């Protein structure tokens, strides 16, 4: 209740109606797999195009080096090709993968700066750095005020610990700042020829300058520049602090103790500043070997927020609603992905079947491992053009299917089964299944991709891997994910509100307005809103004990639309007697 202490007119706002409830996104995908570069620990990175993926994670991987584990880049490419617009990527790398570094035998700079690529991989061997002398501040000396103390025109930018150079008549002498305050600078060593250091001219010829370096980092078409960085640990422009935002390298100052009055360029390069520039090349980066890649790398480790790997890293992400690990068909990894989706209840897994399992019996062997309404399985693999080898290859369908999910959601809505949709970019299939084989696989929850003359290659199935017939359709499960996430995200305002009839009425109006809109969009079955859903909240759903313990319980029932999977036309002859 507001306080009214002085006479006047008070205008106040209050909420009287239902809070508008926005639908949650269902078309954002999450991918996990091997890549040329990218962080292997932390949070997945947002990618909105193939070019974006190439910038963050590199291009295609070699078949000879990575075999069946190389399909992340292809999966992401065909996700966007088939209608996807945004996805999050988490890279996986073998345990013996190493980042490129400058710590090679005989490197002069290795004792001063420890430089290594931002993440493991041979990509780091192409990184080049150039160090150039620079200065962030300069001034002139007006007066000698004491032993090694000088009054200058402006001491801004002169920090304690900085190395400075005094230049007069083309000769430089170096010292270090002990204190800098009120335009008085004290140096560690007195300047020689103190009578000649004063310069009161409007355009000075004798100047005191700070000594820094500018670091240029190059990788392919990428270039980063870090101007006027220092080896002064206490300064804001210390090299380790500034370069920490780099997407290419990590730089650590490993100097031990006081370096004296030596300019940072000379410390790093071992050469005089007059040299102009010093180049550093990184080496020793390794992609690792497949022998050191296991299911555990994909399943990931939970080392706490910001340090999770593999599948576990997506715990920190609450945007993704579709998950896939293209080409990885290890049952341990796939079961971990399905469990992840079930535990969070907000995402759906798309699973691949091993390419060598094409016979119905072999496919069923792999299919029978799973029983979940939060996953769907697709087969066979797709024939596409490989820009790396300039030939057609076969890739797993999960990336393309994730794009079709997104395309169907955006064009028709999540209630539309993502089936009878053309697979873009596919020129063939690894094997052709006929109707008799699909008669066996479809009821068991294996969604086939088939070729139809004049209609192209299409997804011809929309079933989950669940044995529960209530959840056998992909669109039904994903519709409920959409409803649950939308209601959860849109009713946060209810928490800690007074749990009374007024709140119950507002919650009911909020959800009723949302579900009515969903019904009008064709996602719910019924000729009226009353037939499509019901909402019960109040004394009929809560006891006094619930209210006393802070629980507000709302029971919602919806009638989802089911796909017309079997279209049957019964035809008979019409006779005159009829």
- Domains located in the chain, CATH noted: 29-96+290-475 (3.40.50.11780), 108-134+212-281 (2.60.40), 138-210 (2.40.30), 491-578 (no CATH)
pLDDT tops 50 at residue 246: yes
pLDDT tops 90 at residue 173: no
pLDDT band at 145 (very low <50, low <70, confident <90, very high): confident
Q: What is the mean pLDDT of residues 552-559?
A: 94
Better pLDDT: 106 or 32: 32
pLDDT tops 70 at residue 1: no
Structural contact between residues 49 and 371, judged by C-beta atoms closer than 8 angstroms: no
The pLDDT of residue 424 is: 95
Q: Is the dihedral of CA 296, 301, 307, 311 positive or negative?
A: positive
pLDDT in tens, 341-359: 999 999 999 999 999 999 9
Write a three-state SS string for 113-164: EEEEECCCCHHHHHCEEEEEEECCCEECEEEEEECCEEEECCCCCCCCCCEE
What does each C-alpha distance from 468 to 143, 353, 363, 471 come to in angstroms? 89, 22, 20, 6
pLDDT tops 80 at residue 407: yes
pLDDT in tens, 4-18: 889 989 888 877 667
Distance of alpha carbon 208 from alpha carbon 256, whole angstroms:
27
The pLDDT of residue 106 is: 44
Q: Which two tokens stand for residue 267?
A: 């410390």
The pLDDT of residue 63 is: 86
pLDDT tops 90 at residue 2: no
pTM strictly above 0.85: yes
pLDDT in tens, 107-133: 444 468 889 999 999 999 999 999 999
Q: What is the mean pLDDT of residues 417-442?
A: 94
């Amino acid at each position: 209740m507001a306080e009214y202490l002085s006479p006047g007119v008070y205008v106040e706002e209050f909420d009287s109606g239902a809070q508008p409830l926005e639908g949650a996104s269902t078309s954002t995908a999450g991918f996990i797999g091997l890549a040329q570069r990218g962080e292997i620990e932390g949070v997945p990175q947002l990618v909105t195009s193939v070019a974006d993926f190439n910038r963050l994670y590199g291009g295609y991987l070699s078949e000879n080096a990575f075999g069946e584990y190389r399909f992340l880049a292809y999966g992401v490419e065909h996700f966007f090709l088939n209608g996807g617009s945004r996805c999050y990527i988490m890279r996986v790398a073998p345990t013996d993968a190493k980042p490129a570094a400058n710590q090679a035998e005989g490197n002069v700079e290795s004792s001063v700066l420890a430089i290594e690529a931002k993440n493991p991989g041979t990509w780091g061997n192409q990184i080049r750095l150039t160090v150039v002398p620079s200065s962030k501040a300069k001034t002139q000396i007006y007066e000698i005020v004491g032993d090694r103390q000088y009054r200058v025109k402006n001491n801004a930018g002169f920090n304690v610990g900085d190395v400075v150079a005094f230049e007069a008549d083309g000769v430089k002498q170096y010292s270090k700042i002990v204190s800098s305050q009120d335009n008085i600078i004290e140096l560690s060593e007195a300047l020689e020829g103190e009578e000649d250091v004063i310069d009161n001219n409007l355009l000075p010829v004798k100047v005191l300058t700070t000594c820094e370096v500018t670091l240029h980092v190059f990788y392919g078409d990428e270039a980063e520049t870090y101007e006027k960085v220092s080896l002064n640990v206490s300064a804001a422009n210390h090299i380790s602090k500034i370069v920490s935002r780099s997407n290419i390298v990590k730089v650590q100052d490993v100097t031990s103790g006081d370096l004296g009055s030596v300019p940072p360029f000379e410390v790093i390069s071992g050469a005089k500043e007059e040299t102009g520039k010093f180049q550093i090349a990184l080496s020793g980066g390794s992609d690792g070997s497949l022998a050191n890649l296991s299911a555990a790398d994909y399943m990931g480790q939970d080392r706490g927020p910001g340090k999770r790997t593999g599948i576990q890293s997506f715990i920190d992400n609450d945007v993704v609603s579709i998950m896939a690990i293209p080409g990885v068909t290890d049952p341990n990894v796939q079961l971990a992905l399905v469990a992840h989706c079930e535990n969070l209840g907000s995402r759906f897994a798309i699973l691949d079947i091993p390419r060598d399992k094409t016979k119905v019996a072999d496919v069923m062997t792999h299919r029978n491992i799973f029983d979940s309404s939060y996953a769907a399985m697709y087969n066979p693999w797709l024939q596409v053009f490989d820009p790396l080898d300039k030939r057609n290859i076969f890739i797993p369908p999960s990336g393309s299917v994730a794009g079709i999910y997104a395309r169907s959601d955006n064009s028709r809505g999540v209630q539309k089964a993502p089936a009878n949709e053309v697979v873009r970019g596919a020129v063939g299939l690894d094997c052709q299944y006929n109707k008799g084989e699909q008669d066996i696989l479809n009821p068991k929850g294996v969604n086939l991709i088939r070729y139809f003359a004049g209609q192209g290659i299409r997804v011809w199935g929309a079933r989950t891997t669940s044995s529960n017939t209530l959840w056998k359709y992909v669109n039904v499960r994903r519709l409920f994910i959409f409803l649950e996430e939308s209601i959860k995200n849109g009713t946060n305002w209810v928490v800690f509100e007074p749990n009374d009839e007024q709140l119950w009425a507002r919650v009911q109006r909020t959800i009723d307005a949302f579900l009515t809109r969903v019904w009008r969009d064709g996602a719910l079955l019924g000729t009226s809103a009353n037939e499509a859903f019901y909402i019960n909240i109040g004394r009929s759903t809560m006891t006094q004990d619930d209210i006393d313990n802070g629980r507000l319980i709302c029971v919602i029932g919806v009638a989802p639309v089911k796909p017309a999977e079997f279209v049957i036309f019964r035809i008979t002859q019409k006779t005159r007697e009829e």
